[in-house]
Structure 1
């Protein structure tokens, strides 16, 4: 609009160089009319520049402005029509393949760290869908190879768009506890059986997150306090806990279903050669020292410590 007004003023100041073939008089309305048809390159010929100066003004000043205005219109058309249609088509193609994928709702500090850790643990970036409202963070996720969608994770239609009910797991890190808990409620409503992990920062909200439907509630403040306490009791405890939590360390904490060849074996004799720590048997938790750990059963879930591939390769 500013560029159009500039051209109107130029034509008005130089209206003596214009000729109206209709009535011979160039009014302000004629100037506005001539500006619009000249900028849009329509040109009916009823008003035309007739003096040398008016033609030079058209060639040197108005024509570059005409190109700029056209580029602005094309850019607006790209953003609002072409880009929207392309994104809609691209998302439809992605949705066709979405199944057993990881949905990350919120790509802040915790969400981005989780995605990086998942990729290091072997999850294909194409199997990760990141939803956030901030374009710059989505650009970071897309650079990693993840599928991205700019949307509000509290809205049902947006969660349906990422096939939330067919996801392998959902990771929620909205940056605020109230937003994260609302997202958990929405996800649990749409996907009753999908595992949900959520980050909350206030201890009072941990129970609320569980009641909202989260399977795992992670409190980074509490975990940091546990690391600090561990470091006070031993110089290497905190280091080992951090080692377990990251795939980049010497050992890795793994949760997996029992293998067919392990049924009947004790927890201390796993096929992977790992160190068994815990059995989840239906609603019961069994430690490696407790009765029941001497014979693994079908349907058990095992928590074990295994060496990372880099460490195992050196053995």
Structure 2
């Protein structure tokens, strides 16, 4: 009897983050500047109308008295030692200073809300999102390949808030957060880090650590925690492709090999490489799509699925068959088909 996978306990190791609209220091600086600007404005108003004020202590209104009166007036302390006595001074207090007083109070209350209540709520909300993550895309490593992959996913319609990027480089995480993704600064070779992003509930995992040995170790760790989650990994040495598959990778991509194929294709024809790049990108005129066979596909030959698409390959019971092979003469329910279709903008109505 096969051993059952041991249950994974979710631990709180690192919280998810999202991009803030303004950095904390910038937000604090703007609020403080606005408050000080309003206070300075009230000081100028009181100084210009100092003849309407009375000092019950010595009868003289100096500049320091104006500053003092402004502060106790804005903070609603009101000791009564300095007070407005003329009609004009009282009107200024009622019409001009009182609204400014409320504005200053609101700035400070808003600051307390933003830095204490709002940010605490945001952390709580992100923790709740983290606990309920499911069918999300986990990207381990956000170098050049990872960033390109995330950009392409978003262009293809994946919501950025359904993407979780894990890396240890804060600069790279900032780029990912600017794209709208959830980010986490953690080591993707550790069990607790992957548990934090609910790796077992992910729809797929993309691994691109920049080093083959690190990428393969990440694949081993992910497969250990998530036996059924599809894993795609980037490796650069041909010898490591087999190791990556043995570690549990579902798909292994070798960018060096793919670049060589493009170069070879361009040598035999000037348009081959261009068309391959067109197939791979959502911005091209055609798209290479993998999907489950639909009811209207069943019974039809792969080469003629209708709807303006071209069937190239089908997968059945773990085996791949080209459109020219006998097995592809009739698509069956449960098959996975690889098709080429025009980009929706180019070929409307094509599915």
Report if TM-score (shorter chain) is over 0.5: yes
Cα-to-partner distance string for 1:259-279 (whole Å, 9 max, x where unaligned): 012111111222542100000
Is residue 2:128 matched to residue 1:93? yes
Distance 2:189 2:122 in 1: 21
* Structure 2 unmatched runs, 5+: 1-114
Q: Deviations over 1:279-312 (max 9, x none)?
A: 0001221100000111110110000001111211
My pick for the range that moved more, 90-99 or 225-234, is 90-99
Deviations, residues 15-51 of structure 1 (Å, cap 9, x unaligned): xxxxxxxxxxxxxxxxxxxxxxxxxxxxxxxxxxxxx
CA–CA distance in 2 between the matches of 1:279 and 1:269? 13
Offset at 1:90? 4.6
- Structure 2 counterparts to residues 125-204 of structure 1, below 5 A: 125-204=160-239
CA deviation vs aligned residue, 1:196-219 (integer Å, no higher than 9, x gap): 000001111111101000011101
Once the two structures are TM-superposed, the CA of residue 88 in structure 1 deviates from its matched residue by 5.7
Per the alignment, residue 220 of structure 1 pairs with 255
> What residue in structure 1 maps to residue 336 of structure 2?
301
Distance in 1 separating the partners of 2:121 and 2:206: 27
Of 98-107 and 260-269, deviating more is: 260-269
1:285 is aligned to: 320
Distance 1:265 1:285 in 2: 17
Counterpart CA distance in 1 for 2:198 and 2:151 is: 22
What secondary structure does 2:205 align onto? strand
Q: Secondary structure at the match of 1:262?
A: coil
- 1:28-39 to 2 correspondence within 5 Å? none
Give, in angstroms, the shift of residue 98 of structure 1: 1.0
Q: TM-score scaled to structure 1, two decimals? A: 0.71
Name the structure 2 match of 1:106.
Answer: 141
In 2, distance between residues paired with 1:135 and 1:99?
A: 25
Report the CA distance shift for 1:178/1:83 in structure 2 as closer, same or farther (over 3 A): farther
- Counterpart in the other structure of 1:231: 266
Distance 1:104 1:144 in 2: 13
Q: Deviations over 1:107-151 (max 9, x none)?
A: 000000000000011111111110011111111111111111111
SS at match of 2:311: strand
- Residue of structure 2 equivalent to 1:269: 304
